[in-house]
Amino acid sequence: MGKLEIRNLSKAFPREDGSSLVVLDNISLEVQDKEFVCILGSSGCGKTTLLRMIAGLDSAESGSIVLDGEKMKGTDARVGMVFQEYSLFPWRSVIDNIAFGLEMQGMTKDDRYRLAERYLKLVNLTQFRDSYPSELSGGMRQRVAVARALALDPVLLLMDEPFGALDAQTRNMLQKELLEIWEATKKTVVFITHSVDEAVFLSDRIIVLTPRPGRICQVFPVDLSRPRDRTSPAFAQVRREVLDLINLNCSIQ
Amino acid sequence: MDEVSTIAGKVQRVKDHWPGILAIILTLIAWHCYAIFLIRNRFLLPGPVDVFFAFIALLQKGVLLSDFRVSLIHFAIGLGGALLIGIPIGIVMGWNSRMDAFLNPIIEILRPIPPLAWIPFAIIWFGFTPVSAGFVIFMGAVFPILINTYTGFRGVSRIFVEAGRMLGCTRTRDQIRYIAFPAALPSVISGIRIATGVGWMCLVAAELFGVSNNGLGKDLWFFYDLHQMDSVVVYMILLGLIGLVIDMIFRYYIEGRFLKWRTGEVA
């Protein structure tokens, strides 16, 4: 299971002059089990803050986050995260990065390597088992980060613009791979992006945020069948609709 | 890189180093000529040949080896103590900003005191024991280790700690052990490397000033009193070479073993 409910979530950061900056204003949304949801918004709209709060890395001002009927407090073993920047531990080899969470759980070396190797295979990096992150390309590093998050078998996978720093070709390839992994493992995914194209390609539903303060502007279901062809007219049509909608309703006020 | 033990590899290595070897040979020749033809006074400047025979004589007497052993004990006590004290304090200060604010003034007041200024108290507190010389070395070595550990921990990227938290590394002890310490290790190791250099210099001075009855620094002084300057040069060269070897161990063994993940990074 992996049903996420966010109710009336608000967050403000204090400013130098004593006032406070409202980053998220009364966000409520539901993500169904095994659903792939993209949160789309321009930079500064609070989408990363929203994800960090779901992850338990930031605390909310008010409101609640509920996963499978259980209110979340702090970080949670049921939630995995792939960060925007390279968050792999550079002092650990690929296999030891993937096995890190299992090591924290106290699993023996043999067991955790056996499990980690499964996820290594899932992201097609078997031959880089003993490499260090510094020896990998950007795309490979993010693949390892995905494997590392999945190794703990979370019900909810959070992804914070994980492919934002990659070139277009690599990004498209990783998007395809991510969908394959998602089909195979059936996690609930909340994926942050500022790319309409990426959101339309990946998600079941797109949630568009407006900035300052971050509010949900529109929820947009994507009813295209998978695998999606980003060059098809249907895909282009959906993308246009989303873009029009953003320009009409969700631009910066 | 491990398989460079082939003959071709050795030849290549000699080729790579020959300008340096040539420079050493030229220096020896120049030294020899200068001492023999210009100074012509073994007390003012012993030549390389004198030094070599003095070295043989000292080796036969067996002094060198026992001096070496004693000095190494002094050094080990000082450096060991510096690691034991410097790393934990550096960790605590680097991890916890309240401890940082609390301890920082004391550290900043003690740190600029030259280690040799502790010699009187070293003698009063520890007498003429190895601990006494070790203490002076400790005072020289502890601050580079402490400061570098501190700096390393301060610089640990927040994203590593957060990634760790998402993977179930939530206890402070685990975060230090599994994330902050390995992330800070390059800085810690370079601190230790600086500390070995400073410590080695303090060693000679500590022994020189009578904190010890034995050791390389002590006997350097002893032979000066006897006006055997060729023996003094033997000790000088030995001290330099041992310092070099300690540093090489760091450069090639420690860094190669613990920081091999940094190859390929711009460090």
Residue with token string 């009927």: A69
pLDDT score recorded for residue B27: 94
Per DSSP, the three-state class of B122 is helix
Q: Which one, of A115, A217, A87, lies nearest residue B166 by Cα?
A: A87
Is the pLDDT score of A207 beyond 60?
Answer: yes
Helix (H) or strand (E) holding A28: strand A20-31
Span B26-70, pLDDT tens digits? 999 999 999 988 888 888 899 999 999 999 999 898 888 889 999
Q: Which one, of A13, A86, A9, lies nearest residue A50 by Cα?
A: A9
Measured CA to CA, the distance from residue B65 to residue B58 in angstroms comes to 9
Are A100 and B170 within 8 A, CB to CB?
no
Band the pLDDT of B135: cuts 50, 70, 90: very high
CA distance A75 to chain B (A): 6
Are A134 and B174 within 8 A, CB to CB?
no
Query: Interhelix angle for B7-33 vs B48-61, to 10°?
Result: 110
Are B260 and A132 within 8 A, CB to CB?
yes
Q: Which residues of B touch A93 (CB under 8 A)?
A: 261
Q: Which residues of B touch A152 (CB under 8 A)?
A: 167-168
SS (H, E, C) B151-210: HHHHCCCHHHHHHHHHCCCCCHHHHHHHHHHHHHHHHHHHHHHHHHHHHHHHHHHHHHHH
pLDDT score recorded for residue B4: 47
Omega of the bond leading into A213 within 30 degrees of 0 (cis): yes
Query: Interhelix angle for B181-206 vs B229-248, to 10°?
Result: 170
Q: In DSSP terms, which residues pair with B182 in a beta bridge?
A: none
Residue of B nearest to A156 (CA): B166
CA distance B96 to chain A (A): 19
- The complex's ipTM works out to 0.90
Residue with token string 């702090």: A74
Q: Does B165 touch chain A (CB under 8 A)?
A: yes
CATH, domain range B46-262? 1.10.3720.10
Overall pTM surpassing 0.90 (yes/no)? no
A43 vs A230, more confident:
A230
User: Least CB-CB distance to A90: which of B164, B166, B261?
Assistant: B261
pLDDT score recorded for residue A210: 84
CA distance A223 to chain B (A): 32
Span A44-92, pLDDT tens digits? 788 888 899 999 998 888 888 888 888 888 888 889 999 987 899 999 9
Omega of the bond leading into A227 within 30 degrees of 0 (cis): yes
Q: Percentage of chain B with pLDDT > 70?
A: 96
The per-residue pLDDT of chain A, averaged, comes to: 89
Is the pLDDT score of B195 beyond 80?
Answer: yes
Q: Which residues of B touch A80 (CB under 8 A)?
A: 166
Residue of B nearest to A80 (CA): B166
Q: Percentage of chain A with pLDDT > 70?
A: 99
Measured CA to CA, the distance from residue B99 to residue A131 in angstroms comes to 38
Band the pLDDT of A251: cuts 50, 70, 90: low
Domain boundaries, given as residue ranges, for chain B: 1-40, 46-262
pLDDT score recorded for residue B210: 65
User: Least CB-CB distance to A91: which of B162, B163, B185?
Assistant: B185
User: Could you tell me the CA-to-CA distances from B32 to B22, B25, B27, B37, B40 in Å, in that order?
Assistant: 15, 11, 8, 8, 10
Which of A182-196, B9-23, B214-228 has the weakest average pLDDT?
B9-23
Are A89 and B183 within 8 A, CB to CB?
yes
CA distance A127 to chain B (A): 17
Provide the Cα torsion A72, A76, A80, A85; round to 10°. 90
Span B72-89, pLDDT tens digits? 999 999 999 999 999 999
CA distance B265 to chain A (A): 6
pLDDT score recorded for residue B263: 67
Residue of B nearest to A147 (CA): B167
Band the pLDDT of B2: cuts 50, 70, 90: very low
Tell me if A122 sits within 8 A of A184, measured CB to CB: yes
Q: Does B111 touch chain A (CB under 8 A)?
A: no
User: Least CB-CB distance to B166: which of A55, A133, A134?
Assistant: A55
User: Least CB-CB distance to B165: which of A75, A135, A152?
Assistant: A75
Band the pLDDT of B199: cuts 50, 70, 90: very high
Residue of B nearest to A145 (CA): B163
Residue of A nearest to B160 (CA): A87
pLDDT score recorded for residue A140: 92
Spatial strand order of the sheet with A156-160 comes to A79-82, A156-160, A188-193, A36-40, A205-210, A215-221
Q: Percentage of chain B with pLDDT > 90?
A: 64
Residue of B nearest to A55 (CA): B166
Instruction: Map out the domains of chain A with their CATH numbers.
Output: 1-78+190-253 (3.40.50.300)
Is the pLDDT score of B150 beyond 60?
Answer: yes
